Each structure stands twice: as C-alpha cells, then as structure tokens.
Structure 1
C-alpha cells in the first residue's frame, strides 16, 4: 500500500482513506460534505477502469451527486451511465479524502464496491471511450489516475462484508 498523500500530474492529492459502513456514510451528511461517489467494480481479480473522454485517463466509474440524491443513488446512477451496469449490489466500503486544485477545495468521496461473478456487457458512450479490467497488483499505467488506482488497490484488499 502506497503511503498517503499521493498526487496526480495535475497536483490533486489523495490524502486519506478509511473504511465506513453505509450508516456512517449517511451520517456524514449531504452533498456539500460528500459531493461525489466512486465505484470499484471487481471481477476475476481485476478492477474495472473507464477511459474518461474529458480527462483522457483511466479512472474508476463515478461522479458528482445531483440535488436531493444520496451517495448510494449517485453511485448507482453513475455506474449505469458510464458502463451500462445496473441491478448489481453495491456495498459502501470507504470514504476517500482529497485535496483538489481546480478549484482549490477539500472533498470526501463515497466509495462503493460491486463484486461481479460474471463479466458484464459494457456500453460505451460520449463520456467513456473504453474499458480496462486492471489487476490491482499490476503497475499503475502512465495514462491512469494514480489516485483512483490507489483507491482500487485498497478496496480490493478489503474483506467482503
């Protein structure tokens, strides 16, 4: 496990990572406290990474919360929108803490896990240009978010609920 903080090439930093339950995540509060959610999708020892069209790198599926939406609903919606995966069980596993640079801010992101028994049918879209099943034991690629890769590695090491 890489010691924190770690930074990406833009200067954003993953500064913390801690396990949480769904109840703890709900207690953290609303959109201002936890404005986004990420999903670590695991299958056959690998984690699903998506190639983001805007940032041009491999990252975990996820995104920002919409008004009135819980972190869980955000994770479900973003996973469906970015991959086509729906109807799978999501487990709240962690909160990731970031210091971001554009604009400067400190954020907590909800992290969920989906463990799949079969490879899903994945759907490309305007936001996601490709998919990669990445083994977390492999080196982090040059075109991969080191922050998301570290989150994926930490979640992959966590026991099942």
Structure 2
C-alpha cells in the first residue's frame, strides 16, 4: 500500500482512508456529507475494475448519491447500473477522504465490499465500456485510477466482512 496522500493525473488526492464497521458507515451520513459510494468486488484474489467511458480509465464501480439516497442505496444502484450485479451481500468497510479539483472540494466516499464465489455475468453499457479483473498486488497501469487502485488494495488487506 502507498502512503497517503495519493494523487492522480488530474490533481485529485486521496487524503484519508479509515476502516469502519458496516453500522458505523451507515451512521456516518448523520455527521458528514458522504457524496458518493464505491464497491470493491472481489473474486479469486482479483478486484473488478470498470472502464469508464467518460473518464477513459479503469476504476471501481460506484458513483454519486442521488437526492434522498443513503450511501448503501447508491452503492447498490451504481453496482447494478454499471455491471449488472444485483442481489449480493454488500458490507460497508471504510470511508475515504478526498481533496478534489474541478471544482475544488473536500469529499467523503463510502466504501463497500462484495465477495463473490463465482464469476458474474457483466453487462457493458453506455457508461462502462469494459471490465477487468485486476490483481491488487499487481502494477497500476497509466489508464487506471491510482486513487481507486489504492482503495481496492486497502480493502483487500482489511480483514472485515
């Protein structure tokens, strides 16, 4: 794992990563605004990365919360929309903290974990153009979000869920 902060090519920085329990993550929204959620989907030692057609990079499935949604509801919706994966056991495991640019802001991100026993059928769509099962012990390519890769590595090495 890298030491924080980790910076991407746009200047966004992952500044914090705190392991929490599922119930702590559910209550976090009472104290701070959690703008988005990501899901670390694991199978046979690999993590699912999606190729985002807009950002043109490999990243974790996830995205912004819609009005009235909890962090968990956003994670479930984004995972279903971006991959077709639905009806899986999802556990809240961490909160990540970012300093983002364009526009400049400080945000919190809910991090969930899903462990699969079998490979799922994945659905390419307008937003996600491809899928990659990435080994967290492997290198981070130039076309992969170093922020998401670092989150995935930290989740895989967290003995929760």
CA distance in 2, matches of 1:160, 1:95: 14
1:83-141 Cα shifts (integer Å, max 9, x gaps) = 00000000000000000001000000000000000000000000000000000000001
- Which residue matches 2:114? 114
Equivalent residue of 1:40, what SS?
strand
Give the TM-score taking structure 1 as reference length: 0.97
CA distance in 1, matches of 2:52, 2:151: 17
How big is the alpha-carbon RMSD for the aligned residues of Structure 1 and Structure 2?
A: 1.3
How far 1:21 sits from its partner (Å)?
A: 1.6
How far 1:23 sits from its partner (Å)?
A: 2.1
1:57-94 Cα shifts (integer Å, max 9, x gaps) = 00000001011111001000000000000000000000
Matched positions, count: 161
Alignment of 1:60-99 (within 5 A): 60-99=60-99
- Which residue matches 2:135? 135
- Which residue matches 2:23? 23
How far 1:22 sits from its partner (Å)?
A: 2.4
Equivalent residue of 2:154, what SS?
helix
- Which residue matches 1:156? 156
Alignment of 1:47-62 (within 5 A): 47-62=47-62
CA distance in 1, matches of 2:26, 2:113: 16
Uncovered stretches (5+) of structure 2, i.e. residues with no partner: none
Aligned residues of 2:93 and 2:160 also touching (Cα < 8 A)? no
Uncovered stretches (5+) of structure 1, i.e. residues with no partner: none
Equivalent residue of 1:88, what SS?
coil
How far 1:25 sits from its partner (Å)?
A: 1.7
